């Protein structure tokens, strides 16, 4: 394969990755890593390094638009990043002592369950009759997002449970060297009861912070190849901007279907990688 052909293939795949990452809140790495490592046979460490840059590009492209439009809940994002960061530090410390293959299999099973639950849950129940969470009220985490008929207000629920799941997401990220966007969306959507659009847009804001820290480590170790990273970033950024423009006009049910499909693929990949000892 010529350099130009590889560049165009990586760019096209990254364009799709950025689009899906912006819609689902998962970042572009879900598509970028399999494309580079499995299809183009790029060393996994360089693939993950390029994937981290794709996540930063997705977050930078989509999150800026979401914050401007009032879709993301910044207070929730900054609060939950504490748990994700602490979990990632703990996961990195345990990485040398835990069989990552077993963790990957468990993670894949959790994602399959999450995909099933995401499809079963009624679209965006706001539960207006339930009392407000005292922690959410104290931290002013409740918010709203714009819709066709005006702003849609929502209340944040089960803050301690969501914070704990975020710590688990960070731990898995530190153990496996993967993004934790899937569990971030699940924690906010299924546990904390944010509407799906608020969950995915807030996740997009958060994943860039986590990926930026990890990318610094990969840069220091020499795993960021500009010839691989350049087409990834050039493809992911316009894809993310396109997804950000489309998301406010899409129905939540359609977004849930896309999310469930993407994390099912990710779950199957994690199960395969863990069961075959590739992680």
For residue range 185-236, list pLDDT tens digits in order: 888 988 898 888 898 889 888 877 777 767 777 788 788 888 888 999 899 8
Cross-strand partners of 145: 152
pLDDT in tens, 7-41: 999 999 899 888 888 888 777 777 787 788 777 88
The alpha carbon torsion through 56, 278, 275, 190 (nearest 10 deg) reads -10
Q: Facing residues of 154 across strands?
A: 143
d(CA 74, CA 30): 24
Residue 191: φ, ψ to 5°: -95, -55
Token pair belonging to 242: 């396109």
The closest of 191, 212, 176 to 81, measured between CA atoms, is 212
Task: Provide the token pair at 97.
Answer: 């002592």
* This model's pTM is above 0.75: yes
CA distance 120 to 21: 22
Task: Work out the mean pLDDT of the chain and round it to a whole number.
Answer: 81
Mean pLDDT of 131-139: 86
Q: Per residue in 234-249, pLDDT tens?
A: 998 898 889 888 888 8
Q: pLDDT band at residue 62, thresholds of 50, 70 and 90?
A: confident
């Amino acid at each position: 394969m010529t350099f130009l052909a590889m560049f165009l293939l990586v760019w096209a795949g990254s364009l799709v990755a950025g689009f899906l990452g912006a819609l689902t809140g998962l970042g572009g790495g879900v598509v970028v890593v399999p494309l580079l490592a499995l299809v183009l046979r790029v060393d996994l460490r360089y693939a993950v390094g390029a994937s981290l840059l794709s996540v930063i590009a997705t977050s930078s492209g989509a999150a800026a638009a979401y914050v401007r439009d009032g879709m993301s809940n910044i207070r929730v994002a900054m609060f939950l990043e504490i748990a994700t960061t602490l979990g990632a530090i703990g996961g990195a410390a345990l990485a040398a002592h835990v069989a990552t293959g077993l963790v990957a299999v468990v993670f894949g099973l959790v994602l399959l369950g999450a995909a099933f639950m995401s499809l079963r849950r009624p679209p965006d129940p706001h539960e207006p009759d339930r009392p407000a969470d005292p922690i959410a009220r104290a931290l002013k985490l409740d918010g709203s997002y714009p819709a066709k008929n005006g702003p849609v207000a929502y209340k944040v629920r089960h803050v301690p449970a969501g914070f704990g799941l975020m710590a688990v997401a960070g731990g898995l990220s530190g153990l496996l060297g993967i993004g934790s966007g899937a569990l971030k969306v699940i924690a906010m959507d299924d546990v904390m009861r944010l509407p799906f659009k608020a969950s995915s847009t807030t996740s997009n804001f958060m994943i860039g912070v986590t990926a930026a820290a990890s990318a610094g480590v990969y840069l220091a170790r020499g795993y960021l190849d500009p010839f691989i990273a350049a087409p990834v970033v050039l493809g992911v950024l316009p894809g993310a901007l396109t997804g950000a423009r489309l998301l406010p006009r899409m129905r939540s049910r359609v977004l849930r279907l896309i999310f469930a499909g993407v994390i099912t693929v990710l779950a199957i990949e994690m199960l395969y990688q863990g069961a075959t000892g590739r992680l």
